[in-house]
Amino acid sequence: MSLFDLTGKVALLTGASKGMGYEMALGLARHGATVVISSRTQDDLDAAAAEINKTVGAERAHSIAANIVHKDSLQALVDKTHEIAGPIDIVVGNAGVNPYYGPIAGISDEAYERTMNANVQSNLWLAKMVAPDMEAKGVGSMMFTSSIGAFKASDSLGTYGMSKLALIGLVRNLAMEFGPQGIRFNAICPGLVKTDFARALWDNPEVEKRHTLSIPLRRLGEPEDFAGIAVFLGSDASKYMTGQALTVCGGSSMWS
């Protein structure tokens, strides 16, 4: 059990008021971490933190609203986390956007820039802001949510997939650059998960059936499927793993 013990660790999560981010925060808290969860809406965050604390039977969750696409908002999030919980040991960059659905040739400059800023640039900002905490300790783990969409072309989600492939590239370079300081970086690549974010891709019985039949485990992902991977990457169980893109997809991308 000590491999997964996060007692005394501080974890900062973005995109964590619901769905995958919430379940990852809950998993980390269950294993002893103090978690600071963030998204754009404070009321949703407060409710999520209260539910985590109720579930674990301790005051381990705190909520701070922030907008990842604004650098000053992210810096305020990191600063407030320091005030509430102390230096940060684990980062889960789960927030992301997909403002455009359609052929990549049709995307506007505004939608393209928003996608790349939220899904790539913001995570670089966050990594640079938190790295000094981990450098001071000589150890730390950051994980960022990519997608199996990074591994293939798409006529409807092309820019989103591009941004997630760029995020994997960012993770690998950060892993190389910060490895000597003991900081690990990894990417989590979900398949199709039944979240509000991906609702348009699964909220139809026929569409869900078609997707399910293409997955070896014969089901779509559920948000709670991601609690374990967050605990694994945040703990000593993965202490020799860095620069990796881990697919969590029920087997749908094992041949990619």
pTM: 0.95
- Structurally, what CATH architecture does the domain formed by 2-248 represent? 3-Layer(aba) Sandwich (3.40)
240 has catalytic annotation: no
Question: What is the rounded CA–CA span in Å between residue 195 and residue 114?
Answer: 21
pLDDT of residue 16: 97
pLDDT of residue 201: 65
pLDDT of residue 166: 98
Sign of CA dihedral 193, 199, 205, 206: negative
Mean pLDDT of 72-98: 98
Mean pLDDT of 84-100: 97
Residue of 253 and 45 predicted with greater confidence? 45
Report the length, in residues, of the chain: 256
- Is the separation of the CB atoms in 143 and 233 below 8 Å? yes
pLDDT of residue 88: 99
DSSP 68: T
Question: What is the rounded CA–CA span in Å between residue 74 and residue 45?
Answer: 16
Domain residue limits, the chain: 2-248
pLDDT of residue 202: 54
Query: Strands (DSSP E) along the chain, which ranges?
Result: 10-14, 34-38, 61-63, 90-93, 140-145, 183-190, 245-248
pLDDT tens for each residue of 187-225: 999 998 877 766 666 567 777 777 788 888 999 989 999
pLDDT of residue 194: 78
- Is the separation of the CB atoms in 97 and 119 below 8 Å? yes
pLDDT of residue 200: 65
Question: What is the rounded CA–CA span in Å between residue 247 and residue 253?
Answer: 7
Does the pLDDT of residue 120 top 60, yes or no?
A: yes
* Residue tagged active-site, from 22, 101, 160, 240: 160
* CA angle, residues 199, 202, 206, in degrees to nearest 5: 145
Does the pLDDT of residue 235 top 70, yes or no?
A: yes
